[in-house]
């Protein structure tokens, strides 16, 4: 019912080099898995040539690609009667508009974080695993640990509520393989 990413205990919370910026050519949901390509062209200072910490992002081409996770720092926004509104704090269901900068976190073994049910290709099972999905931004649940590549273990499942409203489920995940 909602895509969401909530940082838990992650190395990127204390080691700055595990944080980066990225720009994708398409809309990307919060909590998405992306691969990083080359540095983007610097459109402000032509002499630099490229932005020094902003990469081109795309969905992983293969499930075994090296991935990072999107932690969008944006807020809810929308248009009403021709006026654009930006309000609230980061909650759930946020999407990074195409061409807009986003924060990404490089993953470390044993990083823990929460993902919404829409961050998975299908419903995950607590105690089982999930891996990157080829050509998509989601995780694919797996009964067994994949032989190689990024994988998480689903540790717990909780209801996602905002106020009195139920917005689906969120899952506590731990990186168990890179």
Q: Which pLDDT tens digits describe the chain residue by residue (178 residues)? A: 688 999 999 999 999 999 999 999 999 999 999 999 999 998 777 777 888 889 999 999 998 999 999 999 876 667 778 887 766 666 788 889 999 999 999 999 999 999 999 999 999 999 999 999 999 999 999 999 999 999 999 999 998 887 777 778 999 999 999 9
> What phi and psi values does residue 111 have, to the nearest 5 degrees?
-60, 140
Domain encompassing residue 102: 5-177
Helix (H) or strand (E) holding 33: strand 33-41
Compute φ and ψ for 118, nearest 5 degrees: -75, -5
Q: Do 155 and 115 meet the contact criterion of CB atoms below 8 Å apart?
A: no
Q: Which residues contact 7 (CB under 8 A, 6 or more apart)?
A: 13, 71, 105, 113
Q: What is the pLDDT of residue 67?
A: 96
pTM score of the predicted model: 0.87
Question: What is the tally of structural domains in the chain?
Answer: 1
Going by C-alpha positions, the residue among 19, 17, 20, 31 that lies closest to residue 114 is: 31
pLDDT of 2 reads: 83
């Amino acid at each position: 019912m909602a895509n969401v990413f909530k940082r838990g205990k992650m190395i990127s919370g204390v080691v700055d080099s595990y944080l980066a910026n990225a720009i994708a050519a398409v809309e990307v949901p919060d909590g998405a898995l992306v691969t990083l390509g080359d540095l983007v062209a610097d459109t402000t200072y032509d002499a630099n040539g490229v932005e020094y910490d902003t990469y081109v992002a795309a969905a992983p081409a293969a499930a075994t690609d090296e991935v990072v996770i999107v932690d969008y720092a944006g807020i809810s926004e929308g248009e009403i009667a021709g006026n654009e509104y930006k309000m609230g704090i980061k909650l759930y269901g946020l999407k990074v508009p195409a061409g807009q900068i986003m924060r990404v976190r490089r993953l470390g073994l044993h990083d823990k974080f929460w993902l919404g049910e829409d961050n998975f290709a299908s419903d995950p099972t607590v105690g089982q695993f999930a891996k990157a999905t080829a050509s998509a931004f989601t995780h694919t649940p797996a009964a067994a640990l994949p032989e190689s590549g990024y994988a998480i273990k689903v540790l717990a499942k909780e209801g996602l509520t905002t106020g009195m409203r139920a917005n689906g489920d969120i899952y506590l995940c731990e990186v168990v393989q890179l």
